[in-house]
Each structure stands twice: as C-alpha cells, then as structure tokens.
Amino acid sequence: MKNINNRRSFIKLSLSAAAAMAATGIQTSYGKSNERKSHIKQSSLPASSIRFSVIGLNHGHIYSQVEAVIRGGGQLVGFYAKEVDLTDAFAKRYPQAKLVKTEKEILEDASTQLIVSASIPVDRAPLGIQVMKHGKDFLVDKPGITTLAQLEEVRRVQKETKRIYSIMYSERFENRATVKAGELVKAGAIGQVIQTIGLGPHRINLPTRPEWFFDKAKFGGILCDIASHQFDQFLFFTGSTEAEVVSSQVGNIHYPQYPQFEDFGDVTIRGNNGTGYIRVDWFTPNGLNTWGDGRLTILGTDGFIEIRKNVDLAGHEGGNHLFIVDNKETRYVDCSKEPLPFGEQLVNDIVNRTETAMTQAHCFLATELALKAEKQAQKLSFKK
C-alpha cells in the first residue's frame, strides 16, 4: 500500500481504476484524500410509501430497522412493548408513533402494512406467524427464527399467506462497504467468487445484557444468532442457492457462570457455487474503539475484496472500508457515503409484491443453514 500512498502513483492508479470501473458501468471519482465519492445519490423521494408499526423493542437493532424503513418511504404510526423503560426511550426518539396497549391493536389495524420487531429471539417467529396471518408483512431482527421447528411453521404460513417474512441481516444491508462489494462482484470486478470468509467478533458488555441473552433456549445459540449474518453473506456473494454445513463447533470458553451461553463458534460451509468459512465470538477487547472488528473476505478467480466493516486497524478513520486487489492494482475505497438501498427496496416489494430486497428463498436458506450448523455443532472444551 505504500506505492498507493505516494501521490504520483496514487493519481496514476486512480485514473486507471476509474477507467476500469467505467467500463463495467460503475461511475467513480477519487478525491485528494484517497476517498471514493459516489455519484449514486440516495433517493430523497422514495418511489413507494407504507404505514408500519413496531412490536418488541428488546434489542437495540430496532432503531436501525426503523430508520431503514423510514428512509425507504415508511411512516411509523404505532408501537407496543411490555417493558416501560424500553417504550419510554423509543417514544422519546419517535414521538410521532402512538404507544398502544396491546399487540392486538397493531395486528388488527387494517391501515398498517408492515410490522417491525426486535423482540426476544425465541418470540420472533411466533409473532411473525401472527403478523402474516393478519395479512401483514414482517421485518424482524436476526435471528429471525431460533429452531428448525419454528422454521418449518414459518415457511408453511408464509407459503400459505404469500406475505413477506424478512430478516434484517444488517451486516450486509446496513454496512455501506458490503453493499458496495455487492456492486463490484456483480460487475465482475474479481471474476467468479470461490469463497467467502466472514468474521463476526462482538464485545460482550456484560453489565448491559438482559437475562435472556445468556439462555440458549431464548437466543438460539451463537451460530443461530451472530453467524446468521455470515450465512447470508456467503449465499449472496457466491450466488449459492443450495448449501450444506460441512462442519461446525461451538463453545463456552470464558463464561462458566452462564452455562447456557456460547461465546465462540465457527463453521465450514459448501454451496453449489462456492465455499465459505465463518467465525464468530464474544471476545472483542475493551481496547478497540468499536464493538467488533467485523471483516469479510471475498475470493474470486481474478482478485479479492477485503472489507473492514467497523474499523481499520491500519489507520483509516471510521468504518466502511473496502480494499480490492485485481490483476492490475491494489486500491482502497472509502464507502462511507455509499447509499443503503434495502429500506426502499423492501417498501417497494411490499407495495408491488416483488422480491428486490431479498428473495424469500434466500432469507429462509440462510436461517436454515445457521440452525443446522448450531444443531450439529461439536462442543469445544479447553483445559485451563
């Protein structure tokens, strides 16, 4: 990377990169600070609009879910949760939304098209089933389903009702560098994708965690939970429509006081269009300035892409960092200004009954793989 930091070499490489990207239909311009500035602008007037409400506020992801739908043209009209502290915080942030007394009020509101939820994981699938049976679409935080039995029932009801059951795989949908990587892969920038390596480390923040967080029966296990992101990315970037778990393992290495908790897991996976490796853990140290050094490597026949989702230990500020290497050069792309299209795509899908944000088959397959990996995982136990 030293040659790229040299101004003269950087300008030469940037011009050749821009020409190559233009040939694939992707417009770019590079500033003096080695930052990519997108010519793609976020739509200020989404093509469609819907009314939506929220049930369940048990995870902070609910805020990014709501923001995505609002960006996409959604009007937040109501919400419900049992916990007073959670409803107070949500009401303060979204005063336009009415706090109702029961789930039933939201489920039976004929003017509402979408329900968004980040309830306790084990409760998400049963809620989604009720949402679909009431003729509404459902956007749920991951893990959207915690057992294979739940998955079977969700699939049955979704097929029967033809409603959308969407799981917010935020490490792809809400990370600008990962969205940009999707554009590059689709344009053929690194050839045919062979493998993805997805790393999902998290900081545990013990004092802030509720009781259910440590109970596998309620959160589904570490592969069901965190690794659902990585299964989603594996399927998306390899284009696999079929896949199997080759091996998986989980363990509670460091928290014996929580015997139903898992703090480490990894998986090897094989699909009909590529292979993958996944590692997730709860060991982000306090010395890091973010909750986790999430990474994704996408190996292609003509190059590779590496993404630093939240932090670049080499020194670039902030998150959304993308590095791409092909047969001509190595370059860095700052993706912090890239648009996030998921919300608008989902709203359009709700209005038009299409599958542009994510197909239902993809959504369920990513979950099925996570659940199977969790179920068949070997248990790790290390001597101290």
Strands (E), 127-262: 137-141, 165-168, 193-201, 243-251
> According to the model, what pLDDT value does residue 47 have?
72
Cβ neighbors of 224 (< 8 A, separation 6 or more) are 143, 146, 370, 371, 374
Q: Which domains does the chain have, with CATH numbers?
A: 50-168 (3.40.50.720)
Count Cβ atoms within 10 A of the Cβ of residue 105 and give its class: 0-12 exposed, 13-18 middle, 19 or more buried: middle
**pLDDT given at position 8:** 36
| Cα 47 to Cα 87: distance, rounded to the nearest angstrom | 31
Q: Can you give the pLDDT at residue 39?
A: 33
pLDDT-derived band of residue 14, with 50, 70 and 90 as boundaries? very low
Phi, psi of 207, rounded to the nearest 5 degrees: -65, -20
- Mean pLDDT, residues 280-288 taken together: 97
pLDDT at 6: 37
Is residue 315 very low, low, confident or very high in pLDDT (cuts 50, 70, 90)?
confident
Q: d(Cα 85, Cα 24) in Å, to the nearest integer?
A: 50
pLDDT of residue 44: 54
pLDDT at residue 48 in the model = 75
pLDDT value at position 175? 98
Whole-number pLDDT of residue 46: 76
User: Tens digit of pLDDT for each residue in 156-186?
Assistant: 999 999 999 999 999 999 999 999 999 999 9
pLDDT, mean over the chain: 90
Structure confidence at residue 228 as a pLDDT band (50, 70, 90): very high
Token pair in block for residue 203? 């900081």
Q: What is the pLDDT of residue 45?
A: 60
Closest by CA to 201, choosing from 226, 169, 181, is 226
pLDDT bucket at 117, cuts 50 / 70 / 90: very high
For residue 321, give the nearest of 329, 282, 8, 311 by alpha carbon. 311
Is residue 182 within 8 Å of 324, Cβ to Cβ? no
Record the pTM: 0.87
| Amino acid 29: pLDDT | 28
> What pLDDT score was predicted for residue 104?
97
Contact 165, 132 (CB under 8 A): yes
pLDDT interval class at 382 (50, 70, 90): confident
Q: Is residue 4 pLDDT above 50, yes or no?
A: no
Contact 70, 76 (CB under 8 A): yes
Residue 142 DSSP symbol: S
Q: Is the dihedral of CA 8, 176, 18, 190 positive or negative?
A: positive
Q: Which of 11-20, 75-84, 287-296 has the lowest mean pLDDT?
A: 11-20
Beta bridge partners of 28: 38
Beta strands 274-281; 264-271: pairing state: antiparallel
